A and B are shown apart, each in its own frame.
Chain A
Amino acid sequence: VKRLFLIDDDPIFVYLTRKIIASTNCRSIIIEFTDGELALRHLGEISHQPELQPDVIFLDLSMPVMDGWEFLNEFGLVRPKLKKDISLYIVSSSISPQEVERSKSYRFVTDFLIKPLERGKIHEIIGHPVS
């Protein structure tokens, strides 16, 4: 079972992402956060419990309180303390090449995904369906 963190303030997009993941039949647990700060706080709380740490983080860029970029800066500091190897995907509606370029300066960002998410891509990321 994969643990997924979905950090996005847009409830419709979160709802739709859940639907897509469900439709892939991959077994997963989705934990939602509406901004970077809430996600970061939670990561701090579970830093000694690898079983609760996510396998994959989907991170939106444009969010209130703490946006995706700030989260990336903070996550870079927290990451060495986490016991797990976490894949982090930026998931943004932005089509700006500057932002794609900027995301490359963070070594731990696996990929920059442009919304909408495709089922095939989700499949690829969270693994094989059950039967």
Chain B
Amino acid sequence: MQLAPTSPKEDPIIRQLNSPKWSDQKGDEDFNSLLLLACRICAVPTAILTKNVTGGATFIAKAGDTPASTDICYSLSLAGDDAAPLGQLFLLGKAPARLTDDQKSDLSLVCESLVSLLRAKSGSATEKLDRQKAFYENILNKLPTDIAVFDAEHRYLFVNPGAISNEEYRKYIIGKDDYEYVAYRNRDISVAHSRRAKFLEAKNTRKEVRWEDSLRDPQGNMITHLRRMFPVFDDHGELTLVIGYGLDITDRKIMEEKQAALVKQLSSRNTKLTDFCSIVSHNLRAPLVNMSMLADFIEASEDAGEQKLLISKLRPVIDHLNNTFNQLVESIQISQDLEIERKDVCLQDCIKRTIEGLQPEINKLDARIELDLSAASVINYPPQYLDSIIHNLISNSLKYHYPGRKPLISIRTKKEDSKIVLSVSDNGLGIDLNKHRDNFFKIGKVFHRHPNAKGFGLYMTKTQVEAMGGKIWVESMPGQGTEFFIEFDNRIKSAS
């Protein structure tokens, strides 16, 4: 036990205890009797107990009167057997310059009791704190959300295993920011950029920021999180923390996407239904009206010659009705026949067959057909559909050639991402798409005065393309020509 008198005015700990003033504080009364005993032994009016903490000491307890002036002070270091000093005992007053051996030994007994009491108290307090810490950490760690806490400079103060499951990475990130972390994990820096932008938004607007982000997990599945960052301020309005958390909403997202797809499908069906009503109204009702009017006249007529003439006019009407009806039935079958067999079809062969079938027309017009199938020469598709599509497009180009101009038809394939786009262009009549874009592929729509134009071809082509998940569109300039594009759905075999 050290016993060295010092001047209270010069003792750094006593000076530290004056702010806030130790004498105004009540302190821990459990130490009162021991401190009073120390006062008696040494015959001083006042005793103060302090506890050593990192970087200084804190006031624990006091006993006795507050002296008006203290000239002298005994400072006793309260050390355990082996450990660093736990605290200090100060005895203030006009004490004798020297303590007797009896006083010293009595005082050392008091000090031992103070040490054990301090130990007991600090031990239980630490334990309590530890238990509390474990309790809260457990909650944060077990929550099925990602939690991260940042300081005002966007450095990590805490992350839970929901955010980073690997313990090593979780330890690494504390005190670091996202830029250091993406470098450490060899990840894409854009993640750090976007997180920093959100952080600054929360910091600058002083409001919660919400967003959704989607990333692929190591298995390649798209995982979507709803993320929030909200700033926490102290009493003075200074930013102290930003808490971020993310909730996995992948299930909800998948559900939403399914619903959106369903809505799209339904609205497309609705459009088809409206189209169908219009087809029935225009294309089926028109020949029926003609037939019934013809029948009325036949009934009313008494002239056999006239009757015969009228009957002869029935035939083309019936043929037309039949034709329209068959086309409609066929298009419905195409839309519903989802099990139709796909095969790898060689485009070159398919085009060759079509050209052979159209040879008389090609010869008559002196038409030239160019092919460039280098990008994709094989398409996985129902062969009869592909035949029909190619036939319709080439025969259209021939049918609507520009008078006096030799038809030049150019057929090409292109690869876009994983899809094949087939294009058929000509130098024919062309069409004003500003007027006709909406009607272009509709049944019974005819844009040129041609005896064989019935408005079935493109309608069937569109049906055959869309039934297999593809897309068809057109570009055209009146007097210059037309180019059709067909994008075939994903299932592609690469050209060999």
Contacts and interface: CB of A to CB of B under 8 A. Distances in A.
Interface of A: 10, 12-13, 15-16, 19, 34-35, 61-62, 64-65, 67, 70, 92-96, 115-116
Contacts of A94: 278, 281-282, 285
Contacts of B446: 64-65
A12 B448 contact: no
Nearest to A8: B286
Interface in B68-105: none
B278 A96 contact: yes
Given A19-B297, A64-B453, A10 B290 contact: yes
A61 B281 CA distance: 12
A92 B453 CA distance: 20
A19 B282 CA distance: 23
Contact of A35 (B286, B293, B313, B449): B449
A92 to B, nearest CB: 8
A16 B449 contact: no
Interface string B301-339: 000000000000100110000000000000000000000
Return the 6 tightest CB-CB contacts between A and B, nearest first. Answer: A64-B446, A93-B286, A115-B289, A93-B285, A94-B281, A12-B290
B449 A12 contact: no
B328 to A, nearest CB: 16
Interface in B421-443: 435, 439
B277 interface: yes
B447 interface: yes
B290 A64 contact: no
A96 B279 CA distance: 11
Contact of A96 (B277, B289, B290, B313): B277
A35 B289 CA distance: 20
Contacts of A34: 449
B17 interface: no
A64 B290 CA distance: 19
B292 A116 contact: yes
B289 A116 contact: yes
B444 interface: yes
28 contacts: A12-B294, A13-B286, A13-B293, A15-B313, A16-B293, A19-B297, A34-B449, A35-B449, A61-B282, A62-B282, A64-B448, A64-B449, A64-B453, A64-B455, A65-B446, A65-B448, A65-B449, A67-B439, A92-B282, A93-B281, A93-B285, A95-B281, A95-B285, A96-B277, A96-B278, A96-B281, A116-B289, A116-B293
A12 B297 contact: no
Contacts of A19: 297
Contacts of A61: 282
A42 B445 CA distance: 23
Contacts of A64: 445-449, 453, 455
A14 B439 CA distance: 25
Nearest to B280: A95
Contacts of B286: 10, 13, 62, 93, 115
A115 B290 CA distance: 9
Given A93-B281, A96-B277, 15 more contacts: A10-B286, A12-B290, A12-B316, A13-B286, A13-B289, A16-B290, A64-B446, A65-B446, A65-B447, A67-B439, A93-B282, A93-B285, A94-B282, A95-B281, A115-B289
A62 B292 contact: no
With a 10 A CB-CB cut-off, give which of B289, B445, B447, B455 has the most chain A CB atoms.
B289
A116 B448 CA distance: 26
Contacts of B289: 13, 93, 115-116
Contacts of A70: 435
B294 A16 contact: yes
B444 A62 contact: yes
Nearest to B444: A62
A19 B298 CA distance: 12
Nearest to A60: B286
Contacts of A67: 439
Contacts of B455: 64
A64 B442 CA distance: 12
Contacts of B297: 16, 19
Contacts of A13: 286, 289-290, 293
Nearest to B292: A116
A44 B282 CA distance: 29
Contacts of B435: 70
A115 to B, nearest CB: 4
Interface string B198-227: 000000000000000000000000000000
Most buried by B among A12, A35, A95, A116: A12
A43 B294 CA distance: 31
Nearest to A115: B289
Nearest to B453: A64
A12 B282 contact: no
B455 to A, nearest CB: 8
Contacts of A95: 281, 285
A12 B317 contact: yes
Nearest to B297: A19
B443 to A, nearest CB: 11
A117 B141 CA distance: 81
